[in-house]
A and B are shown apart, each in its own frame.
Chain A
């Protein structure tokens, strides 16, 4: 459970942009996983199964709330002030500020994506899953996953370029 705690919570937090709600959904995910462990089919990767349950919880909630692409104006501080993890101990204060600004800009751009694009891009480029695994997690055809990720990247690049303009 420790291994998946942060990845699952991070995905849900970026999908919902509400810490308390993300925590409720993460809790719901782990309870379903642990109580339903007997229904796990070993032909699927365990990570695919747990992310699938988490993503379904997020999508179900978004559908119920009819939340789509909200602005980040009301985003939680932690997400809005997110910095990139550059991991450079020799980073100057200016570089640290730039990393924080860039991190915030990326979070805002991710928040503007359609939820299905957002889930795909987070699973691919933040969590590092293969396209085939993402297709399995999200119950989507492989071609659809590739299209969503390609479109999401184009949108993100456009949003980040607008910021610099």
Chain B
């Protein structure tokens, strides 16, 4: 058993595991450590919940309101800003 095999997973490694990217060398520890597995499962659940949060949009006409305030350069070097 190597020293790496005994070390608990770091937060970065838990995140890698949740993304399916944990290096194979660290997988045996997770398979044997109840604490790390419980922490990893809790973290994965939180990541999923955050990723599923609603995306909000601004009200109708938002783009028009922004574009009304954009300065557009004219061929003479001036701006058409409103």
Assembly CA distance A9 to B66 (angstroms): 13
Given contacts A34-B70, A35-B70, contact A84 B62 (CB under 8 A): no
A interface size (C-beta, 8 A): 38
Which residues 39-60 of B have a CB within 8 angstroms of A?
42-43, 46-47, 49-59
Whole-angstrom distance between the Cβ of B49 and the nearest chain A Cβ: 6
B54, A85: Cβ atoms under 8 Å? yes
A9-B46 contact in complex given A125-B51, A126-B51, A128-B51, C-beta closer than 8 Å: no
Cβ contacts under 8 Å, A126 to chain B: 50-51, 53
User: Interface majority SS on A: helix, strand, loop or mixed?
Assistant: helix
Contact (Cβ within 8 A) A84 B63 = no
Given contacts A9-B56, A78-B56, A126-B53, 17 further A-B contacts (CB under 8 A): A5-B57, A5-B58, A5-B63, A6-B57, A10-B54, A34-B66, A79-B56, A82-B53, A84-B54, A85-B55, A86-B52, A106-B53, A125-B47, A125-B50, A146-B12, A153-B43, A156-B50
Residues of B that sit less than 8 Å from A by CB: 11-12, 42-43, 46-47, 49-59, 62-63, 65-66, 69-71
